[in-house]
């Protein structure tokens, strides 16, 4: 079974590409969707987040994502440390869920599964995928998209961009780059042509006995990547 990674910067259109691939028949799981689900349904996780960020992030028994975002996204050391701590709680659970899904589809004999995630290269999981697709768009286009859909300010979006790997670096590490700077029609054509190539390509042979998604997580995932640092970079689920 081939495991495909889909990544890209905020506003690049990862979710749109994932939706187009689903329409084509691909099985695609979203890290963002899984994290949101777990934050509302995993009682232990919810309790830990409230303990971390305070009772103000819970409303009517549910976590208030806007309140959480206000506490973890910003330029101060306090924002960054809270983001690191939140990621240490959420990120391993999301990856564990991905591993469960991968194993289930492997047992079912599925030919291919894809995972859409903002963090892929940042936590060193790229070697666990057969192929990695990076979705790309100009920075200002990405900013405009996020502002339009979320109401965030351009400064807020740029602050979140700064927490992720540089888009040019991501493109340099990708097996395929999908340009999403034009129309939905153009994107659909590019997605389908790229998918057609991926579908006929062979599984990538592991470079070692531990070169698969599960082993990359169990052996390569380093919680130190999420330790608070006074002036360090931050990672985002």
C-alpha radius of gyration, the chain, whole number: 18
Q: Could you please state the CATH topology (level 3) that the domain comprising 2-197+207-221 is classified under.
A: Rossmann fold (3.40.50)
Q: Report angle CA 108, 91, 17 to the nearest 5 degrees.
A: 60
Q: What is the DSSP string of 153-193?
A: -HHHHHHHHTTS--HHHHHHH-SEEEE-SS-HHHHHHHHHH
Q: What pLDDT shows up at residue 207?
A: 62
The answer to whether the Cα torsion of 88, 91, 93, 95 is positive or negative is negative
Domain boundaries, the chain: 2-197+207-221
Q: Is the pLDDT of residue 153 over 60?
A: yes
> Chain-wide mean pLDDT for the chain?
86
Confidence band of 131 (pLDDT split at 50, 70, 90):
very high
Q: Is the pLDDT of residue 63 over 80?
A: yes
Q: Is the pLDDT of residue 149 over 60?
A: yes
Confidence band of 159 (pLDDT split at 50, 70, 90):
confident
Q: Report angle CA 49, 9, 204 to the nearest 5 degrees.
A: 100
Return the percentage of the chain with pLDDT > 90, whole number.
63
């Amino acid at each position: 079974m081939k495991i495909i990674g889909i990544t890209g910067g905020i506003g690049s259109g990862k979710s749109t590409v994932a939706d187009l691939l689903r329409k084509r028949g691909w099985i695609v799981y979203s890290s963002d969707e899984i994290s949101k689900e777990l934050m509302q349904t995993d009682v232990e996780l919810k309790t830990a987040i409230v303990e971390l960020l305070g009772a103000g992030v819970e409303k009517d028994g549910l976590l208030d994502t806007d309140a959480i975002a206000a506490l973890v996204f910003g330029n101060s050391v306090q924002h960054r440390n809270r983001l690191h701590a939140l990621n240490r709680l959420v990120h391993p659970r999301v990856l564990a869920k991905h591993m469960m899904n991968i194993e289930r589809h492997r047992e079912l004999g599925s030919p291919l599964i894809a995972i859409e995630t903002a963090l892929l290269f940042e936590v060193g999981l790229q070697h666990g995928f057969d192929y990695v697709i990076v979705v790309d768009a100009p920075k200002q286009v990405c900013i405009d998209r996020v502002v339009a859909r979320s109401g965030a300010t351009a400064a807020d979006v740029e602050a979140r961009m700064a927490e992720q790997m540089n888009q040019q670096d991501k493109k340099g590490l990708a097996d395929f780059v999908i340009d999403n700077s034009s129309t939905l029609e153009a994107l659909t054509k590019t997605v389908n042509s790229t998918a057609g190539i991926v579908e006929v390509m062979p599984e990538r042979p592991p470079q070692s006995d531990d070169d698969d998604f599960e082993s990359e997580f169990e052996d390569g995932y380093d919680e130190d990547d999420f330790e608070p640092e006074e002036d360090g970079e931050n990672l985002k689920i």
